[in-house]
Amino acid sequence: MPRTAFASTGALPPLAGRAFEGLPHGLLVLDREGRVEAANRAASELLDIAFGTEPACCELFGCGADEGPLTGVCLTQVVPRPGEGHLELRLELAAGSTWVTAASMEGDQVVVQVRRNSSARFVHSEPAAGPELYISALGPLAIEVGGEPIDGAWLEQRPGQLLEFLVCERHRPASADRITSALWPHADSRAVGRVRWFVHKLRDALEPDRRRGESSFVVGSRRGYALHRARVRLDVDDFEQRISAGMSAFARGDADAAAGLLSRGLTLYRGELLADEPYAAWALAERDRLRDMAARSLRVLFQRLLQVGDVPGADRQLRRLIELEPYDVDLQRRYVELSLRQGRRGEAQRRYAELRERMLHEFGEDLDFGFWELLDAGELQLRLA
């Protein structure tokens, strides 16, 4: 028997009440403790909410789980404050892969939209059958279908380039014209017509046993081609979800939750986006955006670890941050100071000498601080400790 919305919409104006009930996606209103105050019919059916009950969001969305974007926190803890944006997460629920969008309202309430098939807005509304495709794009590209890694020469050919481009364009469909101008700008006019052939070869590589004309992973519409977001998981999405949740927690003043979420997000950052395509112009903007997300997260995590006295942990995060921003002199100085603070004088001196030589060689400028002044400060900190 189908579930019905357990919260009456009688207090709403008639049109608003009908819109609340008629929305095809689930819609819930939570209080700040995460209790459901209202839910429309679609939310009740999708999340299996029984009539007359008042479940908590932690029961519905798996808050505090051992893995995923809500690891160790409740959804209500990481939603930005009113007027500061919204939170979007992809969660694996009993009903399937689900997109959850949450925003704060005035009065300490949170409105949540739940939609099971995000690809419906530009491809088709029915979920595709078949195994799940997992794409690791942070670092060198790696692909798994149904948990089994797949490889082949096609990855270095045009079907592989097409897959990488669709990863970068994962939030919108890509037309044949845009694919051609980005990937093969110097090709002749026939290249646009051949995009369909490359899509066919890509689908064959990902699904060699598929039936002709069908694809679980690469879908098409009049607007272009796209990855089927209900069947394709990307480490990039998981990274963004965890980092966004962590930065939201940090903005709300929950430093412990922020540190946990950021740490889990950063474990996915194995390297720059599509590291095996370092000169692809079409990947530069997205690569820079994700690198910036990682760098900002590392700065927050580094400061938090210093605050709680975890100097070795702070040192590890600072090393990663320097790899992303090697020309940031302030970071290099912090690294020298931290090495001295841990009694690693030789390593600190080598790092200082390398930094000074690089600045002189590449920029013709000397450092505005000397090693001996850092050494004196570091030894003073060691004595005080």
pLDDT digits (tens, 9 = 90+) for 282-326: 999 999 999 999 999 999 999 999 999 898 899 999 999 999 998
Please check whether residues 111 and 182 belong to one and the same domain.
no
Domain check: are 300 and 374 in the same one? yes
At 165 the pLDDT is 97
Q: Are residues 181 and 126 in the same domain?
A: yes
| 162 and 254 within one domain | no
Shared domain for 248 and 376, answered yes or no, is yes
Q: Tell me whether residue 8 is in a domain.
A: no
Question: How far is Cα 14 from Cα 302, in angstroms, rounded to an integer?
Answer: 52
Q: Which helix (H) or strand (E) holds 4?
A: none
Q: Does one domain contain both 35 and 167? A: no
Q: What is the pTM of this model?
A: 0.72
Contacts of 108 (CB under 8 A, 6+ apart): 31, 32
Spatial contact of 105 and 82, defined as CB atoms under 8 Å apart: yes
Based on the fold, state whether residues 108 and 132 are members of the same structural domain.
no
CA dist 141 → 25, 150, 236, 271, 381 (Å): 34, 11, 11, 10, 44
Question: 138 and 176: one domain?
Answer: yes
Q: Is the residue at 24 inside a domain?
A: yes
Q: What is the DSSP string of 220-286?
A: EETTEEEE-TTTEEEHHHHHHHHHHHHHHHHHTT-HHHHHHHHHHHHTT--SSBTTT-TT-GGGHHH
Do both 62 and 143 map to the same domain?
Answer: no
Q: Specify whether 189 is located in the same domain as 68.
A: no
The DSSP secondary-structure symbol of 49 reads P
Q: Distance between CA atoms of 153 and 144, rounded to whole angstroms?
A: 16
Count of C-beta atoms within a 10 Å radius of residue 68: 20
What φ, ψ does residue 244 adopt, rounded to 5°?
-60, -45
361 and 262 assigned to the same domain: yes
Choice between 123 and 90, residue whose per-residue pLDDT is larger: 90
Q: What is the pLDDT of residues 21-51, one digit of tens each?
A: 778 888 999 987 889 888 888 888 888 887 7
Q: What's the structural domain count of the chain?
A: 3
Q: pLDDT tens-digit profile of 75-86? A: 888 787 787 777
Q: Is residue 3 part of a domain?
A: no
Rounded Cα gap, residues 142 and 92, in angstroms: 22
The answer to the question of residue 5 being in a domain is no
Between the CA atoms of 19, 25, 26 and 31, what dihedral angle is there, to the nearest 10 degrees? -70
Strand partners, 142: 136
Q: Using the structure block, give the residue that is written with the tokens 């040192």.
A: 315
Helix axes 190-206, 176-183, angle to 10 degrees: 90
Amino acid identity, residue 130?
G
The alpha carbon torsion through 185, 187, 193, 196 (nearest 10 deg) reads -70
Q: Which long-range contacts (CB under 8 A, 24 or more apart) does 381-384 make?
A: 381/340, 381/341, 382/340, 382/341, 382/343
DSSP 8-state assignment for residue 33: T
**Residue 300: inside a domain:** yes
CB 40 within 8 A of CB 21: yes
The domain boundary residue, chosen from 116, 142, 159: 116
Q: Which of 230, 247, 271 is the last residue of a domain?
A: 230
One domain for residues 209 and 241:
no
For residue 261, the tally of other CB atoms under 10 A from its CB is: 30
CATH code at position 374: 1.25.40.10
- CA–CA separation, 150 vs 160, rounded Å? 12
Greatest mean pLDDT among 84-93, 305-314, 366-375: 305-314
Q: Which domain holds residue 166?
A: 121-230
127 pLDDT exceeds 50? no
- The helix (run of H) or strand (run of E) holding residue 89 is strand 87-93
Quick check: 380 pLDDT over 50? Answer: no
- Summarize pLDDT for 262-277 with one digit per residue, the tens: 998 899 999 999 999 9
pLDDT of 374 > 60? The answer is: yes
Select from 211, 230, 249 the last residue of a domain: 230
Asked if residue 9 is part of any domain, the answer here is: no
Of 82-91, 122-131, 220-229, least confident by mean pLDDT is 122-131
Q: Domain holding 76: CATH number? A: 3.30.450.20
Q: Which CATH number does the domain housing residue 183 bear?
A: 1.10.10.10
Instruction: Residue 10: count other Cβ atoms within 10 Å of its Cβ.
Output: 7
pLDDT in tens, 146-190: 888 999 999 999 999 999 999 999 989 999 999 999 998 887 767
345 within a domain of the structure (yes/no): yes
In a domain, 4, yes or no: no
Say what angle helices 255-266 and 235-251 make with each other, to 10 degrees. 160
